[in-house]
Amino acid sequence: MEIKLLQKEAPVWIAGDAIHQQVSFHAETVVPDTADDVQEIVWTRGGLLLKGKEPGLRAVSVSGEAWASVLYLTENGQLESIRLRKDFEIVFEAEAAEPDALPHLSWYLSGLQGKLLNPRKLSVSFEVQAALRSFHRGSALAETTLPEGEWKGLHVLKNQSTALALTAATEKPFTLREQLPLSAEQKALSQIDAEELRFALQDTEQVGSRCIIKGEMLLGLWGRDTSNHPVKADYHIPFSQLLDITEDTLDQSSVWIEPNSLYLDWTEGIGGERSLDLEVHALLQFCSYTRREVVTFLDAYSTAMPLEAERCSFTLLRSVEPCICTVSTDGAVPVPDDMAELLAAEGKIGVLERSGGTARIPMYLDILYRSGDGSLASARRSMKLDVKDVPENALILSQRLQSLIAEADGNEIRLSGCAEIRWELIETENISTLTILSHDEEKAWVKTDRPSVCLVRRGGERLWDLAKEYLSSEDLIRSFNAEDAEFLLIPAEF
């Protein structure tokens, strides 16, 4: 005879494994006919814009635009810049993609290098690290129960676990429009050469079935002042977005925001005061998690007859932790031999490297300086930064050089600041539950062959294990013995 256990399920979103891709490509451009020839590249900055996602049966195609701004020295010693753009596509292959799957993307530039091909032509190489996770609607086990009926002599060991259920996976395009006044420091910025845009999340607040996501949009602008020297201006712009997640509870959440486009332009007010018009289009990708109790059957036996059990295994989601690791950039690099004055230094970091249990991240420093003869020149330096606290199984979402101060000190350039690595750690647990119990009444235990009571010295066994071995029950053993008894009387259950 078979007893098919009932498996109650609850609707959830199912997350597929992250698919990682690393792609490299390059773009070329020529300087305008009206511009002077290029002598050398000072530094290169760039970014990524998400243009679209196209899920298919066995693949997801992601289209984007990479842009770069190259600051260079001309043959007559002047600083100039030129910008280029490159459309690209990444195809993430999946063996069994769901037709209604919702893909979430996170990516960042891990490598960006400008190269001078000839005095009239420049090339920029891009390296992109990308991770894609697809979510589809499904169901997860919530509770295992016995079917209705009387099952004489049957005992089951229940287990109650707390798990995270992915209750909502969604995305929302949004637009931010701002008119930014210029501070005294920012007024020195007369020309914009490059910009960096990122989103810093601060709080997630739930109101009923809606979720308010709050944060800051951080905008960094690189350009030149009226003396044609490099300067930088930073803006911190608060934002909030409202999402309908259909659930009344929210215990954890994950948020990714990728920009689609960025528009900047100078405007002048009535009094001649300049301000900056900003328009940003971005895609907010969101997952919400709710804690739920999951009941399973770990074991079963019968005091009436032999019992065989079938079981199935599944994975419980325990936690999804967004984390930020800050890496110190304190150190020093040698100055160029002909440097008389350090004018500016810009840094960027490369891909996290792991070897022999240690993790490091390379940092590249591009230096603009004035040489002994008064001319401008540039140089590149590099160093390795030790990284701690990022587990092997962490999903790295982004990495960037957050701040950097460079000061000339004799034969060295002293560096201080920090790099930021943002990652997510997903913890799961594999458990099993009984699904079918089989027994044969014709092979029932012969009661006369069983002692009515046994005396057992207590070791480290669970009462469940003793009850199963001696065909008793936990309640019956407790009723016959004191709680701290060294020897247990174990009566058989007839």
Give tens-digit pLDDT for 303-354: 999 999 999 999 999 999 889 889 998 899 999 999 999 999 999 888 888 8
d(C-alpha 307, C-alpha 157), whole Å = 14
The pLDDT of residue 95: 66
Whether the pLDDT of residue 378 is over 70: the answer is yes
- Percentage of the residues of the chain whose pLDDT score is greater than 70: 97
Cβ-based neighbours of 433, under 8 Å, separated by 6 or more: 5, 7, 141, 144, 296, 297, 298, 311, 312, 314
d(C-alpha 103, C-alpha 61), whole Å = 10
Whether the pLDDT of residue 234 is over 90: the answer is no
The pLDDT of residue 295: 96
d(C-alpha 48, C-alpha 92), whole Å = 18
Class of residue 123 by CB neighbours under 10 A (exposed 0-12, middle 13-18, buried 19+): middle
Average pLDDT over residues 72-88: 94
Question: What is the rounded average pLDDT for all residues in the chain?
Answer: 90
The pLDDT of residue 440: 85
Average pLDDT over residues 66-92: 94
Whether the pLDDT of residue 100 is over 80: the answer is no
What confidence category does residue 185 fall into, taking pLDDT thresholds of 50, 70 and 90? low
Of 299, 293, 309, which Cα lies nearest the Cα of 474? 299
Q: Taking CA 88 as the corner, what is the angle to CA 86 and CA 90, rounded to the nearest 5 degrees?
A: 160
- Could you give the count of Cα atoms lying within 13 Å of 330 in the half-sphere of its Cβ? 2
Give the DSSP H or E segment for 466: helix 463-469
Whether the pLDDT of residue 94 is over 80: the answer is no
What confidence category does residue 96 fall into, taking pLDDT thresholds of 50, 70 and 90? low
Average pLDDT over residues 440-457: 87
The residue among 66 and 447 whose pLDDT is bigger is: 66
Whether the pLDDT of residue 251 is over 70: the answer is yes
The pLDDT of residue 51: 96
Whether the pLDDT of residue 258 is over 80: the answer is yes
Say which range, 67-81, 120-134, 144-158, 266-280, has the weakest mean pLDDT. Answer: 266-280
The pLDDT of residue 97: 62
